[in-house]
């Protein structure tokens, strides 16, 4: 695993648990609004040795309850199952963040009972996916991952919304696609650090606009909230 960062304490990344967050390097999307560009293109930051990661996790046993694995895109790493197994052997619950492009890896993790919570980023309605993530996408794999995550006991979906990329109608279409999911979060875009520097100048949705959208779709989910990232 190529780990480029550790957030040593988080009370929000893993719902209901005191957790840390591990940031894996590398992503197969090029979302222009990405707020972790250093995990998409190499900025020269050296990886954190795995043994340093596990030394930290051993030291925090009894205080931390969970480990969030995010990116980048963690499922690009073939050694992810072995890495997660080592974490679970220390007694931690594991939350995985994914963009859904690798349902085969998701299936392995679920089948081997290696994850306790899955969060999937849904970027757009399927017909607009490639225009948002700016690469070719196997849309069947995205749809397969959505179905898999919806069937997983503890899960959430989230969509980062930028007016230039997703109109209100697109957000409503995503909600209709995901209806019945346990949790759906509308994530407010913040133009403070982006992969595409031109997005530092883009307009954002006003809080009142997002609240109205949330109110239109909230009955489709057990939990539907606006999240500032």
What is the rounded average pLDDT for all residues in the chain?
Answer: 96
pTM of the model: 0.95
Q: Spell out the domain ranges in the chain.
A: 3-228
Report strand pairing: 223-228 vs 155-161: unpaired
Contacts of 14 (CB under 8 A, 6+ apart): 65, 66, 67, 68, 93, 95, 117
pLDDT tens-place string over residues 95-106: 999 999 999 999
At 10 the pLDDT is: 92
Q: Write the burial class of residue 31 (CB in 10 Å: 0-12 exposed, 13-18 middle, 19+ buried).
A: buried
Closest-CA residue to 134 (of 31, 38, 64): 31
Q: Write the burial class of residue 50 (CB in 10 Å: 0-12 exposed, 13-18 middle, 19+ buried).
A: middle
Q: Fold for domain 3-228? A: TIM Barrel (3.20.20)
pLDDT tens-place string over residues 27-82: 999 999 999 999 999 988 999 999 999 999 999 999 999 999 999 999 999 999 99
């Amino acid at each position: 695993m190529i780990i480029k960062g550790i957030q040593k304490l988080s009370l929000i990344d893993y719902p209901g648990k005191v957790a840390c967050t591990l940031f894996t390097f590398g992503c197969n999307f090029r979302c222009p609004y990405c707020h972790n560009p250093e995990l998409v293109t190499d900025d020269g930051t050296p990886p954190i040795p795995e043994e340093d990661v596990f030394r930290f996790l051993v030291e925090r046993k009894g205080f931390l309850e969970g480990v969030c694995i995010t990116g980048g895109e963690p499922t690009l790493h073939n050694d992810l199952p072995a890495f997660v197994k080592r974490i679970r052997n220390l007694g931690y619950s594991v939350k995985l963040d994914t963009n859904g492009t690798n349902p085969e890896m998701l299936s392995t993790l679920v089948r081997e009972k290696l994850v306790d919570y899955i969060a999937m980023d849904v970027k757009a309605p399927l017909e607009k996916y490639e225009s948002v993530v700016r690469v070719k996408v196997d849309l069947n794999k995205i749809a397969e991952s959505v179905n898999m995550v919806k069937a997983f006991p503890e899960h959430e979906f989230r969509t980062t919304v930028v007016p230039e990329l997703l109109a209100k109608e697109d957000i409503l279409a995503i909600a209709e696609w995901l209806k019945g999911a346990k949790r759906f979060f509308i994530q407010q875009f913040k133009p403070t650090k982006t992969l595409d520097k031109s997005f530092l100048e883009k307009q954002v949705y006003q809080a009142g606009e997002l609240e109205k959208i949330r109110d239109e779709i909230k009955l489709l989910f057990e939990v539907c909230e606006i999240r500032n990232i």
